[in-house]
Structure 1
Amino acid sequence: MAQSIFEKNGGKYIKVGDYYVPDLGQFDEDTEPVDERVIGKYGSLRRTFLEEHRPAIYTKLLYSFELDTHLKDVNEEAQNLIDKLLPQYKKQQGVTEELKAQNQLLWVGKVNNIIAQIEEIIYREIVYV
Structure 2
Amino acid sequence: MAKSLFKELGGKHERQGDYLIPCIALPAEEEQPIGTWGQRHFDYLKQYRKVTYTNLLTSGRLNAYLADIDRQAQERFERLIEGMKQGQGITERLKEENALEWTGRLNNIRACAREIVNREIIYV
TM-score by length of 2: 0.73
Take 1:92 and 1:39, find their aligned partners in 2: how far apart are those partners? 31
Q: Work out whether 1:89 is the aligned partner of 2:96.
A: no
Q: Where in structure 1 do 4 or more consecutive aligned residues deviate above 4 Å?
A: 34-37
Structure 2 unmatched runs, 5+: 1-28
Q: How many residues align?
A: 96
- For 1:43, give the aligned amino acid: G
Take 2:30 and 2:99, find their aligned partners in 1: how far apart are those partners? 39
Residue 114 of structure 2 is matched in structure 1 by 119
Structure 1 unmatched runs, 5+: 1-33
- For 2:102, give the aligned amino acid: W
- For 2:66, give the aligned amino acid: L
Q: Identify which of 60, 63, 68 aligns with 1:68.
A: 63
What is the deviation of 1:38?
Answer: 2.2
8 Å contact 2:38–2:69 — kept in the other structure?
yes
Query: Alignment identity in percent?
Result: 41
What is the deviation of 1:83?
Answer: 2.2
What is the deviation of 1:84?
Answer: 1.5
